[in-house]
Amino acid sequence: MFHGPGNKAWEEVPDPVILEGTDAIVRVEATTICGTDLHILKGDVPAVTDGRILGHEAVGTVVAAGNGVRRVKVGDRVLVSCITSCGTCEYQTLLRLVGSGQLDAGRLVTHHFQLDEMERAYDVFGNAAETGALKVMLSAAES
């Protein structure tokens, strides 16, 4: 739970409920953090206020689905991406092409950085409108 810059805690929260027909509830089985979480914890995202439950990249099983959910059903294992999408827009079409092997994802890489340049890579990707960053690739330094 986020309680302001640098102030986080593990807390018990009520179980989620379906509020909209397009909602799904996923039992999380594995998760990770990403740069967004780190920026939130530093206080760089003022829209995130006290009491926000963090975490948005996970793998799990659908345990409930609203009547408007069409692409998954209870019992399906799913990836909870950091990207929220309808599944039919241009972005989703691009993901399907990459996933099916019809498009090489490597061709989308616009910037390359070594691991020791992580902070610079975050700056470039965080300012994508100015830098034109579409996908940033980090790699270990060559020996």
Structural domain includes residue 28: yes
DSSP string of the chain, one letter each residue: -B-STT-B-----PPP---STT-EEEEEEEEE--HHHHHHHHT--TTS-TTBPP--EEEEEEEEE-TT--S--TT-EEEE-SS---SSSHHHHHHHHHHTTSS-GGGG--EEEEGGGHHHHHHHHHTHHHH--S-EEEEPPP-
Four-point Cα dihedral 61, 67, 69, 75, nearest 10: 20
Confidence at residue 54, expressed as pLDDT on a 0 to 100 scale: 81
Nearest CA among 42, 44, 41, 63 for reference residue 52: 41
Nearest CA among 130, 135, 133 for reference residue 109: 135
Structural domain includes residue 67: yes
- Overall number of domains in the chain: 1
Say if CB 24 and CB 69 are below 8 A apart: yes
Confidence at residue 14, expressed as pLDDT on a 0 to 100 scale: 92
List the chain pLDDT tens, one digit each, 143 residues. Answer: 899 998 988 899 999 999 999 899 999 888 777 777 788 888 888 888 999 888 777 888 999 999 999 889 999 998 887 666 566 666 667 777 777 888 776 667 777 777 777 777 777 777 777 777 666 666 665 54
In CATH, what number is assigned to the domain containing residue 67? 3.90.180.10
* 30 strand-pairing partners: 59
Structural domain includes residue 101: no
Range of the domain at 51: 1-84
Structural domain includes residue 91: no
